């Protein structure tokens, strides 16, 4: 099974990079499924029905979420009713959507878990206890191909999750901070990276125009973050080969800067 995973896609610049490059990557890498974190797809906050359709047409098959999954008040219920769209599973059970999706991929079952950390995040269930219970349930169903998007603020949370699930899942992709890290590795068949890195503007602050975040740091007074659509763009994703036992055997990062050759880093 060959899968691709994109980190936080931020606004129109991110969507533009996906539409420009993803189909070519899918063909070149023979990808069976593409997963992407979707919580910043629409103007940086949430995902609209329109943009869900747009990105699906561009090649994304499954969408994970985060703390902005519910930002588009007029759209999130319809979006999360779609089987391809997930929100963090440790939100309360009575909110819209679901956090675990099981999909048929080349004769195997692929389970995708959307999970959110605790530090500086909305109040939610303990992600560590929650995910252990879910993985046990999936394993009892003989589902070996399990991918986790852990949407969390701190490296400590993500490293704990890596050790907790080592050897139990196929991959753990860290998202949320938008800054790609270089600690990607595969241990006991489990791929891990602290943060995949954003797809969108790379020459400002986490994909957003720098004026408001800079003002907040200088004065303590915040405002509404905006996306500058005239920017230098980047696309970042990982490509994994997962064997029949659910173990990652090969992995590489693909990084594309606008108007530059694609960079591929084998792991």
Q: Active-site positions? A: 68
In the 8-state DSSP scheme, what is residue 126? -
Angle at alpha carbon of residue 202, lines to 196 and 207, rounded to 5°? 80
DSSP alpha helix (H) spans, the chain: 11-29, 49-58, 76-80, 127-140, 155-165, 211-219
Closest CA to 65 of 52, 57, 239, 104: 52
The answer to whether the beta carbons of residues 66 and 47 sit under 8 Å apart is no
Relative to beta strand 263-266, strand 233-242 is unpaired
Q: How far apart are CA 20 and CA 258, in angstroms?
A: 10
Angstrom distance (rounded) from CA 63 to CA 66: 10
């Amino acid at each position: 099974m060959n899968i691709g995973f994109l980190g936080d896609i931020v606004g129109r610049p991110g969507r533009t990079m996906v539409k420009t490059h993803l189909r070519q990557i899918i063909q070149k890498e023979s990808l069976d499924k593409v997963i992407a974190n979707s919580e910043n797809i629409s103007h940086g906050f949430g995902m609209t029905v329109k943009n869900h359709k747009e990105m699906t047409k561009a090649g994304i098959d499954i969408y994970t979420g985060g703390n902005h999954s519910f930002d588009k008040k007029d759209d999130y219920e319809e979006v999360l009713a779609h089987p391809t769209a997930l929100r963090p599973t440790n939100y309360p059970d009575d909110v819209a959507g679901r956090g675990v999706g099981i999909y048929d991929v080349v004769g195997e079952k692929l389970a995708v878990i959307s999970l959110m950390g605790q530090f500086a995040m909305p109040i939610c269930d303990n992600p560590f206890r929650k995910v252990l219970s879910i993985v046990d349930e999936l394993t009892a169903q003989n589902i070996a191909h399990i991918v986790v998007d852990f949407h969390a603020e701190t490296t400590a949370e993500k490293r704990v999750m890596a050790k907790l699930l080592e050897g139990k899942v196929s991959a753990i992709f860290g998202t949320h901070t938008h800054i790609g890290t270089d600690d990607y590795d595969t241990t006991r068949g489990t791929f891990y990276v602290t943060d995949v890195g954003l797809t969108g503007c790379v020459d400002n602050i986490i994909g957003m125009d720098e004026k408001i975040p800079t003002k907040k740091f200088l004065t303590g007074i915040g405002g509404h973050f905006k996306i500058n659509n005239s920017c230098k763009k980047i696309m970042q994703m990982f490509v994994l080969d997962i064997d029949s036992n659910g173990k990652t055997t090969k992995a590489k990062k693909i990084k594309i800067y606008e108007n530059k050759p694609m960079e591929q880093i084998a792991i």
